[in-house]
Structure 1
Amino acid sequence: MHDIRAIRENPAAFDAAMARRGMENASGPILELDEARRAKIHAAETAQSEQNKASKEVGAAKAKGDEAEFERLRTLVGEKKAEVAAMQTQAKELDQQLTDLLMGLPNLPMDDIPDGEDENDNVEIHRWGTPAEFDFAPKEHFEIEGVKPGMDFEAAAKLSGSRFVVLSGGVVRIHRALAQFMLDTHVEENGLLETWTPVLVREDMMYGTGQLPKFGEDSYRTTNGWWLVPTAEVTLTNLVNGETVDESYLPRRYAAHTQCFRSEAGSAGKDTSGMLRQHQFEKVEMVSITHPDHSRAELDRMTGCAQGILEKLGLPYRTIVLCTGDMGDGARRTHDIEVWLPGQNTYREISSVSVCGDFQARRMNARFKPEGGGKPQFVHTLNGSGLAVGRCLIAVLENGQQADGSVKLPEALHPYLRGKTVLQADGTLA
């Protein structure tokens, strides 16, 4: 959420930044509503002062025995009381309208990200690894012979419908090994605090990280009002919801492996084959809570953490910075990491790492107390996939596929598979 005082003090700068997001004159409706709200508050305060003055004069008139003046003042007090109550209600309604308006706006992009309309305007900033050359036509993950016994979409469709999968045998063991490998790396090498959180959250937690009110259709809500998390960003970031921590508490770096749930409302017809885009999937999420001065450097550090997982697995990837038209609403700058999928002959997103500044912190009212004293300040928040487990499984299977239908597995996974190194063509590990 945006700081209304900053918009009020420099609407031109706000409008220039929002124009990069495709929104012209964004400050106009905001300032108009803010002015009406402030005017109503001022009027209520004036009426309250007049009420208080009349209340004092009522006693004086009574003491003097001036019944006419007493009745006039008593009537005036009643009128002012009703007037104050009405104006306070109107001010509260205007305040809620202003909050709703600010809640629905995207974050301000950083100056150093590219302008653009869509993914075609994103800019590559890093590339690692060389895609392997195959002496056969590489297949997509679900077509590989050794994968077929352990990846059942028909059974999942019977159980739940489309965009679900049942994993079994060697495939599900690789999936589980990947998640454990990611967590161990982030905890032991990257200094993140392993955390386990619920996957059902209250509605205000979804507001805190920006999934609501604008993107409710992308998530699932239970009949009793809980929401299924689309990512552990929701729970990990909201750990500081409503908190004022000491500056020494920062930075706070979390990692969590959770089930995630997304309706994929805006992706009808996209990636319908295989398990690239699912309603239920697993992800190892990274979240950092930082001092404002350190959040930009933290973005690069978190990006490196995600990239390091792919490098340990020997998976070629590229990193791009998203343009203004492709970046999520809550981010100020986003680095997408795309892994090479030979079955599709292209790079596909496997991690998105974003710095949000104080955008989420304002929604959550999450602050820190400066060590040198002074007024509490809003923390900065960051989030990123470290990585999407299912998509990483796809990359491992496709990049390691062999002509005989088996899959050669990355060395980094061998200890997690009790020394197994290959997914054989019959779906078993050896």
Structure 2
Amino acid sequence: MTRIPHETADEPNPLRALTLDRLRSRTSMKWRTYPDDVLPLWVAEMDVPLAEPVVRALTEALALGDTGYPAGTSYAEALADFADKRWGWEGLAVERTAIVPDVMLGVVEMIKLVTGPGDAVVVNPPVYPPFYQFVEHMDRQVIEAPLGTDLRIDMGALEEAFRRAVTDRAHAAYLLCSPHNPTGTVHTAAELAAVAALADRHGVRVVADEIHAPLTAGGVDFVPYLSVPGAERGLSLMSASKAWNLAGLKAALAVAGPAAAADLARLPEEVSHGPSHLGIIAHTAALRDGTDWLDALLAGLDDNRRLLADLLAEQLPAITYRPGDGTYLAWLDCRALGLGDDPADVFLHRGRVALSSGVPFGTGGTGHVRLNLATSPELLTEAVRRMAAALH
């Protein structure tokens, strides 16, 4: 096979490894949705080569013809070890995990375990659009608890949403996005403990989407929801897919707090048939052996956050951007530009830059765009130049 242009010895910035021509040869959604004259900085795919340990593990599996059904607990063991070393969390018990096809399908299954049709699910908009789509498809009602003006959880709004969620309903859940997509907010231990206390007081079950957990800025600590006091009844979904760009290799883990083990035990056995065996091999290799690559990526993302802030200040000063402490997503407030509810449409058609429209992210999304900064500094620089040119 052709070797990926990525050296493991020195771990250079993987965001600088691929040329635009090489990226345009990809056939995934990011690179095939728009014409070739559009720079795609929208969907959550990174412009990186795979980490060499992942390539090696997949190559060995293919050489063996090891392409059957998944088995065993290697993924959960790798995640538990990663969580211990990375976050100082020793509480991820392998026996309280289950493999699921991916994080959002895992979210669906967890919500089914703790709520029924017609029940309410609380979310914090602006938030990842599939939260609305999947919840409503399950015949649950979405109740919004908007983030505060500081883009952090508003505890007053959350408590009011919890009150509404449990009124005249048998059960309710809170779908927590941690770190938060699209703002990049990384919730603190104190905030998460306050969430757990509120949830316990109102009888709301917390389901945490922690898919972006490994992607935090330098000096910022990720706190697993299940690690805080009072979160024993919580359920979490984790995956290596975002941090190592493995979305096409489906696999995720559901993790239960000590008091939620019985709930997870009710997960239908057939759900575990959904993950890809190759996906589990890839995710396990990433968590076990891909941390040097991850650290190089995180340093590159820190550089890109600073670069984006500088570029916007110079060329689009009317855009408000607060660099997030997590994810590789940038939430841009474009309302001062006067481009209407959907500035992403203007940047696409006038500037030939594809960004995610803020509208589907719910309350607080109009007039905003989400930009994926997991690309090369050169492409990021060109994208901002085009966005600025689109205003003239």
The normalised TM-score by structure 2 is 0.25
> Which structure has the highest strand share of the two?
1
Structure showing greater Rg: 1
Q: TM-score, normalised by structure 1?
A: 0.24
Higher RCO (CA < 8 A, seq sep 6+): 2
